[in-house]
Structure 1
């Protein structure tokens, strides 16, 4: 016997809808226009505040995920694939609202001829259904169009952004990274895992952001580091010299980079380190520095140096041939 769910009082339906996982809700919304309307009404009244929409447009992966507010748990709710990938022999593809669609066990796939149009469509569909904005964006160098598109379609900025390195090499890496650095805005995380040429330089300001991760940061100079406005900064494969770090510490002691709490630099080649410059008034200390980085680990540094800012704020510094750490202490020390 069929159950007349559309005739069920909305109060009862809302309780049922509240039990649905995000992927289940998206899949259910394709049952009928009336059922989709009921779901939209539910989420407009009870916006799932703990849900964040994340868009991925990376090579052959184009999808929308829903994550919790801490981005600790993510689940794909919809994906778009080129129509050439349809396997008609499986006979599992149906046409809904003019789009060829395939229901997987956990999410649905929609087939498009135009992949950019497909990415935009599934993002608009999911965010409209749940009455939420896109907060996370992960792209490759061929999908920088998504930055402007997201900025124009919503007032709320991204919280997490990532530029991912491609599996195949193409020639426009410098232009893509430069565009991202100048135009991508994210409040929590800005991560760039992309290669650029040895000649690439970035002279603008970056931030404000909580966490800045540059996995291939050989292009970062002392001047560009001073222009990074972040609480946590990680630079991998760095070519900064110890003399550059001395200059940065002078900048910090004078009040520069005031929001910085944590800096980690990993050198591409072995750095030649003996001692810091005397004018920095850095002294040895037996203190142990700790910092809980955003990705969940506790960084611990020993055999530290102590350096004090002009306003009394101290930082613990550690440097060897491979790494440089700076952990800012929040308590002021009287002179």
Structure 2
């Protein structure tokens, strides 16, 4: 069936056995895609143009929104192309680049969530020095550090993909390229590429989560020492949005990891669905979480969409 596919291309797949439903599956995915673009794009626009949001907390939120946009823009064009246009071929170079950006942005999202935890930690544990510690320069350094760590950590395994010969079917099991999907088609020793994500990258993301977890223990300890119940509630309320985003991201990562590692007997459609949840659910939910739970974002949205004569 695939004998006419060039050795320089891979073949993307949608939902095997459900090809007749691809056009119907395309519709909710397109709606989610547009919602993610609008939601995260609105957050970035607000934070850039509203001077009330020019604070470290919102700069980190802008990094999160930009990361979510990057993940979506990297994956969804090929997904929608497969489902609507049946455009399945992707060159090796484009595939490896897509895999690089997907995994880099995933590690970056973990780093941004860690940076946001640091922001809340300083704001609650040391509020008097908050502005002197988290200056614009410091926020920029943290952002560059998060980006650099993510970019360099993924590079070793993706660079090696260019060296492998691919003599198997060249058929990938998703509508976008993932590293773990590509290496299954390599006719070479893939021990390093198999172990590095498990040992290196998983340990990195796990370490991020543990640091976030312990930072919130210290935050909770500080909040419980505040005499006024109203002040305690106010302090905790500033963390609710971030905690929700943490749960959305890390629960999704854990579910995907367990599905891929231990779900050999799970139907393939479950693996595919979990992959879509992994790339779509956090970017879709994060703007809603911050819009619902953060009054400054709510006010900014109302100002953005209010007509001049409505204030008359």
TM category (shorter chain) comes to: under 0.3
Normalising by the residue count of structure 2, what TM-score does the alignment of the two structures yield? 0.20
Q: Which structure is larger by alpha-carbon Rg, 1 or 2?
A: 1
- Structure number with higher relative contact order (C-alpha < 8 Å, ≥ 6 residues apart): 2
Q: Which has the higher helix share?
A: 2
Normalising by the residue count of structure 1, what TM-score does the alignment of the two structures yield? 0.19
